[in-house]
Amino acid sequence: MKRKIVIFTGAGVSAESGLKTFRDMGGLWHEHRLEDVASPDGWRRDPATVLRFYNERRIGVLAASPNAAHEAIARLEDKYEVTIVTQNIDDLHERAGSTRVLHVHGEILKARSTADESRIYPMRSPLIELGDLCELGSQLRPDVVWFGENVRHLSESAQHFAQADKVLAIGTSLTVWPAAGLVDYAPAEAERVFVSPDLQDVPDDYRFLRGTAVETVPGLVDEWLAQA
């Protein structure tokens, strides 16, 4: 049986592929507060602006490419059972070759019905416009988790963490809850590594590697593959 690795990734991994984080935006987008373009209240007030915000994000995702960290993580599947739990809404892990990815904050390349949240659709176009409807006649919205909405796959992700032989957390500030609490489910006997260029408060019992994902993860992956 292959040993199990759980990878927890945040915005810092996608940022190295050129995708802006909310922190990079300084809380504003075209003079709109991010809370206004990424919340149910903002959607009710001005759905056109919310769609425009995510259309711009989606075009950026489609133009981006996986970086060396994404590609290194995918290589771990050669010798390990790997589950990725990501806070990122892009598909860069999948494009790099990873096959088991849980998106706790949703996926920007999918749309869903505003009448029935279980109706989710892969997008054929990079844009969602007002008047784009599901078969129920309801407006489509991005299939992403907004401020104030419930995160996805939380129990499943916690189970994966609890069963891990190795845990690697990368590019997350651990400030977005409840997803940030998943790192605490790692078993005491598991090897636990945290990669960040600037994290101030490293979780208990995690080995800290200071550096960006691209600088740090490929070498760690080579080390783990050599151990397998």
Q: Tell me which residues are annotated as active site.
A: 105
3-state secondary structure of 39: coil
In sign, the C-alpha dihedral spanning 74, 7, 63, 135 is: positive
Q: Is 165 helix (H, G, I), strand (E, B) or coil?
A: coil
- How do 32-33 and 81-86 pair as beta strands? unpaired
Q: What's the rounded Cα separation, in Å, for the pair 122 and 113?
A: 12
Tell me the Ramachandran region of residue 47: left when phi exceeds 0, alpha when psi lies from -120 to 50, beta otherwise: alpha
Neighbouring residues of 81: CB distance < 8 A, sequence distance ≥ 6: 1, 2, 3, 4, 5
